[in-house]
Chains A and B, each alone.
Chain A
Amino acid sequence: MYVGPFGHPRVWSICTRSHLPLQTHVMQAIDWFILHAITTQAIVGYKCNPNLVNSKSVLEESGRVSSSDVGGEGQVEYHNHRVVEFVEEEGMEVAVVWPTRGTVVVLNADATRDSPEIYLEVGIVTGGLAANIFGKRHSRSRMCVAVGALTKCQLIGVDEKIGLSDILREGGTGTKVLTVQMVTMFDKVIAEEEVSVDVKIIAPP
């Protein structure tokens, strides 16, 4: 997912997989019906890894008819990468797109006159997941930016932009180092980058 200019999200993926069409009704065994709903994003699902509960899957019970469907005509392959446990994506890359290092940020001395807002922009290359799946899975993750003792965070699933004007204004002018982090919903920092910006504050005309 790439958060573009002024925070408007754009998406891409290294490996964009065509999406399975959403089919309704129970068209296969119930577990695959659930997997299909997850794959088509009709619901959000995870799986525990490793398993917390195991099943005999009825295979070892003599005299009992299996309730599993295996193979057969019309079957669809479901990649359950979608339902992994809560982990960051392998191969995911996060980079601050804007402000770029050394950017000059000019703010009005009168905060009410700032227009447009100075936004943080972050680019994310997913690790092989379709971008919309990635975005949904990480909708509870946060982008955070720290300037000195000030920190702002924003859920990427709510709004993909963070206004910087207020925290850049604190502490006056000069070069300031921004620490930008991607933080999972479990407070794990999965990417961090620092950029420096030169802050200038101009007096109202």
Chain B
Amino acid sequence: MFTHLYYSLSPITRVSAVDGRTLNLVSSSILSLFSLKTWSQATIGNPHSHHGYAMAVVGNALSHVDVLRGVCGDGSEANRDEYVLVLEDDIDSFSPDFAADMASTVARIERDQTWDVILLGTFSESVDLYNDRRAYDEPGVEFLKRVNHEAKSRTFGGGSHAYLVRRKGACKLLKLAEEVSTA
């Protein structure tokens, strides 16, 4: 289906996730990607708590950064409109007619030269926009609430479990993430 896969010149590439529990959160490679200017809790296990971060969240972010680096490659101008499909390992289900839906989507997006990222699945937890799934209605949500100490919902949701990213988009995101290291 996808004729524009780019990652490492291989049609399918499995990227090992970063285990946040094993990270040295004060390593230079992490400090260069995360804002720690307001880090006042360095002695606590999670220096990113100011941002609501958990170590698994940092690991997840680093996993995607690795993917983006692979997609961006050397950052050259060649093939910057090519794109890859990124799927996390917790994909649960696809739309009932996924093949046709995906083919239709690809046909449409290839006429649009402006996009960098297309989120194939998102969820929202406080407002039901566009029939987004309410994660707080899902089984197991109590676990999430306990972990985060409050039931405050994450307004307007998100989701990185499935997205298309263009090479140029990956390079832009990396630049945003890495710029602060020199700031």
Contacts and interface: CB of A to CB of B under 8 A. Distances in A.
Please determine whether chains A and B interact with each other in the same assembly. yes
A112 interface: no
Contacts of A31: 158-160
Contacts of A59: 135, 138-141, 143-144
B26 interface: no
Contacts of A19: none
Contact of B131 (A28, A49, A65, A157): A49
Contacts of A66: 54, 56, 143-144, 147
A80 interface: yes
What is the predominant secondary structure among interface residues of chain A facing chain B? Answer: loop
Interface string A46-63: 111111111111111100
A73 interface: yes
Interface stretch (A5-13, A36-44, A164-172): A36-44
A32 B55 CA distance: 16
Given A37-B173, A44-B116, A67-B59, A52 B130 contact: no
Contacts of B112: 86, 140, 185
Contacts of A157: 114
A133 interface: no
Contacts of A79: 156
Contact of A45 (B59, B95, B117, B159): B117
Contacts of B49: 72-73
B92 interface: yes
Interface string B101-142: 110010011011111111111111100011111010011110
A177 interface: no
Contact of B108 (A29, A34, A53, A86): A86
A50 B132 CA distance: 8
Given A48-B119, A59-B141, A81-B129, 19 more contacts: A24-B177, A25-B33, A27-B51, A28-B51, A30-B60, A30-B64, A43-B173, A52-B120, A53-B94, A60-B140, A69-B53, A70-B152, A71-B52, A71-B148, A71-B153, A72-B52, A73-B49, A78-B155, A139-B114
Interface of B: 20-21, 33-35, 49-57, 59-61, 64-65, 87-88, 90-95, 98, 101-102, 105, 108-109, 111-125, 129-133, 135, 138-141, 143-144, 147-163, 169, 172-173, 176-177, 179-181, 183
Q: Which 3 interchain pairs have the tightest Cβ spacing? A: A72-B52, A55-B161, A53-B162
20 contacts: A24-B176, A25-B33, A27-B35, A30-B160, A31-B158, A37-B176, A42-B176, A48-B120, A52-B94, A52-B105, A52-B120, A53-B87, A53-B98, A54-B92, A57-B135, A70-B52, A73-B51, A74-B51, A78-B158, A83-B122
